[in-house]
């Protein structure tokens, strides 16, 4: 295997490490980049060498397969929004070499390899009549040729990227009618761009268009971000490195792909819903055999098999990465046991598949290769589940399990099982959480002080901020020139220690600067794209501060228009400011004239309830406020395009009684901006 050779010492501040063998030089550059990210330390570069030694980088078959069937490539793949902003910019990742052979010291070589593979984009033929557009968004768009037209699978995240991808496909495959669109599951990167296709179809095609989705899709797709969406959006900025530049010391991708496209999201209601009682469907002469896998990667999801093509579409049940049992942006924990079971079912039910293609990454060809791929993915999730439960039953804590659990060598050597998106560490914690929740059983963890209170006491106990920083800097410098294993553990410890320093003394620039340097090294060493993005986003915000704007809800307007209005009342309930609402008692009767439904809202005990009321109850019920409006106007209020105060004097909002009480009610609701601090108190 290749080895590092130091040419100059770390004390000179310019260090070059050379790899001999099949890999090219890894270098450490002097100084920080434009965003303040510092150079990788000697220990970090040595850690990258360990990765090179541990995995079979000489195997280049993934690069062969990722390029197989290329029909055409968009050489300048930049998609702009209405304001000239870049919604998608594949060109920005041009610094990654095409074969992933020259990893810099600031990127884990395994992640660098995955990033290079995810750079391979264009229109590909999977098999005659079956095509994929890869690299136009986080997910893939697949196209199936039917008897009379195209069947589109997973129309990407945003209208802009979907339109660009589909137009590109038509240029090279020819123009055919779109007869059906398939949503494999309820995550927005697989349906949010649908209007980018529909809006460009002739009226007669729109009227006849079939939209096929798994049972429960509509509720799950529209509800995922309604209640906790503000917090998820802020955390997603970290997970996907939204504020980071694409660079060797910044963002290289998410492992699952590059990043979601932050454009205009859209929605179209399914016409065909697939459940356990209707797993077989023929669409434009093409037979589909569906497998419902809801509760695995998504709460509403299916895979399908195409007998004509002998092709298995695995949706996101399997990917060329270990997936998340818990996502760092914050979602409900997923059931690893069920997930593994669904893969096992697919293995046996579709065992004659000669090709696998999915919602992300590149295909697998050959019956034996598909079976091996599915088996290894199946066993990865089952191993993490079973071994985590074994250890928690022996009393091990989540941190102890995450620190010690490793995949067996037979699974650890497969690149598609690496932790590019999910990781063994945080997936093991997810399994623990699934069964045991947040409490480890140790009373010290039962009711600890809030982070800032604890931080102040820690710093005081350590002799004050100056003493803490002196010791922390000494450990950082010592670890940075030591063994990579000890350095990694020291960086993890210093992240915890310096986090106390920052929370106790957020005005102390030295504390923030040193913690940022620690986060740089942890980010550089991370094999997981989201872990790297999280660490480097934290370092960025310690140096530059938090965001000046949040994620505006206006981009979700089309989805919100298709969301059941009762879910908005659920969202209102979690925005009631309990202190402001204490002692208040209010009832509101809200009638939506366009859908002929009325809801009674009651506020008491600082709790908001709502219920659907019938026409007779509307006549009899007593309420402080009676108002009528339409669903589109209600959505405009939610996304900030209109305010209740502005509308009180207009004809759009009809307030029969209680205008002042309505204003009071609105004043009791928080208006979160999604700009809360994460790495500072």
Reading phi first (left if > 0) and then psi (alpha if -120 to 50, else beta), residue 610 is in beta
Name the strand (E) or helix (H) holding 288: strand 286-292
Place of tokens 């997981």: 528
Q: What does 599-644 look like in DSSP terms, one character per residue?
A: EEEEEETTEEEEEEE-HHHHHH---SEEEEE-HHHHHHHHHTSS-H
C-alpha R_g of the chain:
27
**543-576 as b/e, with b when 16 or more CB fall inside 10 Å?**
beeebeeebebebbbbbbbebbbeebbebbbeeb
Q: Which residues contact 110 (CB under 8 A, 6 or more apart)?
A: 51, 55, 415, 418, 420, 527
User: Contact 66/117 with Cβ under 8 angstroms?
Assistant: yes
Q: How confident is the model at residue 101 (pLDDT cuts 50, 70, 90)?
A: very high
Confidence check: pLDDT of 7 > 60: no
User: Contact 177/283 with Cβ under 8 angstroms?
Assistant: no
Confidence check: pLDDT of 467 > 70: yes
Domains and CATH numbers, the chain: 4-53 (no CATH), 61-412 (3.60.15.30), 445-544 (1.25.40.880), 564-667 (3.30.1050.10)
Interatomic CA distance for residues 399 and 396, integer angstroms: 8
pLDDT of residue 556: 81
Name the strand (E) or helix (H) holding 164: helix 159-173
Q: Which residues contact 489 (CB under 8 A, 6 or more apart)?
A: none
Interatomic CA distance for residues 408 and 364, integer angstroms: 23
Range 178-195 average pLDDT: 97
Range 189-212 average pLDDT: 96
Confidence check: pLDDT of 554 > 80: no
Residue 340 main-chain phi, psi, to 5 deg: -60, -40
Inter-helix orientation angle 367-392/424-436, to 10°: 50
Confidence check: pLDDT of 627 > 60: yes
The two three-digit tokens of residue 320, written as one number: 């060329």
Interatomic CA distance for residues 677 and 82, integer angstroms: 29
**286-304 as b/e, with b when 16 or more CB fall inside 10 Å?**
bebebbbbbebbbbbbbbb
Confidence check: pLDDT of 268 > 90: yes
Q: How confident is the model at residue 643 (pLDDT cuts 50, 70, 90)?
A: confident
The two three-digit tokens of residue 616, written as one number: 């007779």
CB atoms within 10 A of CB 64: 9
Cα dihedral 510, 537, 117, 347 sign: positive
Length of the chain: 681
Range 194-217 average pLDDT: 96
pLDDT of residue 6: 29
Range 46-61 average pLDDT: 97
The two three-digit tokens of residue 273, written as one number: 């819903």
Confidence check: pLDDT of 16 > 70: no
Cα angle at 190 between 136 and 72, to 5 degrees?
Answer: 25
CB atoms within 10 A of CB 584: 15
Q: What does 543-573 look like in DSSP terms, one character per residue?
A: HH-S-SS---GGGGHHHHTTS-HHHHHHHHH
Range 633-647 average pLDDT: 83
Interatomic CA distance for residues 310 and 126, integer angstroms: 11
Interatomic CA distance for residues 586 and 570, integer angstroms: 17
pLDDT in tens, 584-621: 999 999 999 999 999 999 999 999 999 999 999 999 99
Cα dihedral 248, 254, 258, 261 sign: negative
User: Contact 106/525 with Cβ under 8 angstroms?
Assistant: no
Instruction: Specify the DSSP class assigned to residue 246.
Output: B
Please give the mean pLDDT across all residues of the chain.
93
Range 35-51 average pLDDT: 97
- Name 15's bridge partners: none
- 130-134/141-145 β-pairing: antiparallel
- Name 627's bridge partners: 590, 655
pLDDT in tens, 334-354: 999 999 999 999 999 999 999
- Reported pTM: 0.94
Range 55-62 average pLDDT: 97
Q: What is the dihedral of CA 572, 575, 578, 579, to 10 degrees?
A: -130
Q: What percent of the chain has pLDDT over 90?
A: 87
pLDDT of residue 5: 28
| Poorest-pLDDT segment among 15-19, 137-141, 272-276 | 15-19
Interatomic CA distance for residues 638 and 586, integer angstroms: 20
Interatomic CA distance for residues 315 and 319, integer angstroms: 8
Q: In 338-481, at which residue ranges do the beta strands (DSSP E only) sit?
A: 355-357, 364-365
| Poorest-pLDDT segment among 67-71, 208-212, 366-370, 547-551 | 547-551
Among residues 327, 329, 302, 299, the alpha carbon closest in space to that of 223 is found at: 299
Range 43-52 average pLDDT: 98
Range 246-274 average pLDDT: 96
CB atoms within 10 A of CB 58: 9
pLDDT of residue 550: 75
Going from the C-alpha of 146 to that of each of 179, 323, 365, 543, the distances in angstroms are 8, 32, 22, 54
User: Contact 141/165 with Cβ under 8 angstroms?
Assistant: yes
Range 236-256 average pLDDT: 97
Query: Is 199 or 10 the better-scoring residue by pLDDT?
Result: 199
Range 500-508 average pLDDT: 98
Interatomic CA distance for residues 571 and 12, integer angstroms: 57
Q: How confident is the model at residue 1 (pLDDT cuts 50, 70, 90)?
A: very low
């Amino acid at each position: 295997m290749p080895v590092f050779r130091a040419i100059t010492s770390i004390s000179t501040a310019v260090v070059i490490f050379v790899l001999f063998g099949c890999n090219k030089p890894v270098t450490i550059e002097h100084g920080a980049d434009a965003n303040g990210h510092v150079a990788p330390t000697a220990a970090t570069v040595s850690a990258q060498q360990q990765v090179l030694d541990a995995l079979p980088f000489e195997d280049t078959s993934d690069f062969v397969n990722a390029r197989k069937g290329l029909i055409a490539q968009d050489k300048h793949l930049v998609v702009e929004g209405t304001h000239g902003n870049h919604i998608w910019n594949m060109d920005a990742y041009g610094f990654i070499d095409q074969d992933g052979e020259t990893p810099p010291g600031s990127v884990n070589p395994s992640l660098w390899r995955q990033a290079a593979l995810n750079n391979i984009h264009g229109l590909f033929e999977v098999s005659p009549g079956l095509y994929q557009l890869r690299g136009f968004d986080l997910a893939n768009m697949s196209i199936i040729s039917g008897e009379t037209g195209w069947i589109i699978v997973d129309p990407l995240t945003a209208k802009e990227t979907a339109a660009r991808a589909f137009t590109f496909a038509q240029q090279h495959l020819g123009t055919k009618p779109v007869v059906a669109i398939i949503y494999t599951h309820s995550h927005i990167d697989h349906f949010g761009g649908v209007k980018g296709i529909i809006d460009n179809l002739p009226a007669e095609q729109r009227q006849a268009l079939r939209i096929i989705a798994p049972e429960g899709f509509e509720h799950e797709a529209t509800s995922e971000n309604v209640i906790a969406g503000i917090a998820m959006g802020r955390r997603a900025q970290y997970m996907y490195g939204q504020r980071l530049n694409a660079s060797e010391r910044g963002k290289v991708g998410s492992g699952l792909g590059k990043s979601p496209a932050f454009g205009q999201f859209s929605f179209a209601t399914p016409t065909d819903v697939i459940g356990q009682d209707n797993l077989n469907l023929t669409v434009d002469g093409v037979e589909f055999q569906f497998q419902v896998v809801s509760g695995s990667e998504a709460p509403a999801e299916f895979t399908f098999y195409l007998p004509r093509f002998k092709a298995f579409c695995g949706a996101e049940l399997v990917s060329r990465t270990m997936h998340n049992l818990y996502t760092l942006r914050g979602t409900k924990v997923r059931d690893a046991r069920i997930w593994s079971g669904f893969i096992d079912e697919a293995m046996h039910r579709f065992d004659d598949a000669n090709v696998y293609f999915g919602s992300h990454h590149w295909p697998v060809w050959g019956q034996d290769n598909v079976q091996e791929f599915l088996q290894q993915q199946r066993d990865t999730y089952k191993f993490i589940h079973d071994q985590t439960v074994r250890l928690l039953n022996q009393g091990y804590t989540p941190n102890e399990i995450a620190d010690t659990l490793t995949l067996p060598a037979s699974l650890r050597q497969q690149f598609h099982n690496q932790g590019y998106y999910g990781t063994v560490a945080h997936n093991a914690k997810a399994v623990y959480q699934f069964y045991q929740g947040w409490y480890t059983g140790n009373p010290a963890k039962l009711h600890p002080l809030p982070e800032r209170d604890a931080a102040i006491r820690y710093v005081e106990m350590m002799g004050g901020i100056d003493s803490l920083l002196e010791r922390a800097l000494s450990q950082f410098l010592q670890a940075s020139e030591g063994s990579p294993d000890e350095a990694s553990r020291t960086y993890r410890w210093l992240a915890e220690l310096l986090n106390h320093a920052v929370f106790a003394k957020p005005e102390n620039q030295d504390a923030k600067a040193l913690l940022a340097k620690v986060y740089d090294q942890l980010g550089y060493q991370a094999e997981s794209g989201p872990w790297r993005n999280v660490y480097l986003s934290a370092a960025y915000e310690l140096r530059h501060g938090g965001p000046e704007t949040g994620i505006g809800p206006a981009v979700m307007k089309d989805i919100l228009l298709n969301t059941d209005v009762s879910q908005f009342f659920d969202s209102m309930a979690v925005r009631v400011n309990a202190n402001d609402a204490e002692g208040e008692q209010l009832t509101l009767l809200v009638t939506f004239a366009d859908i002929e439904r009325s809801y009674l809202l009651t506020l008491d005990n600082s709790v908001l309830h709502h219920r659907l009321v019938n026409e007779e109850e509307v006549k009899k019920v007593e309420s402080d406020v009676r108002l009528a409006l339409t669903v589109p106007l209600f959505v405009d209020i939610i996304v900030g395009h209109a305010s209740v105060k502005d509308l009180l004097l207009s004809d759009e909002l009809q307030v029969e009684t209680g205008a002042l009480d309505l204003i009071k009610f609105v004043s009791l609701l928080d208006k979160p901006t999604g700009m809360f601090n994460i790495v500072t108190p």
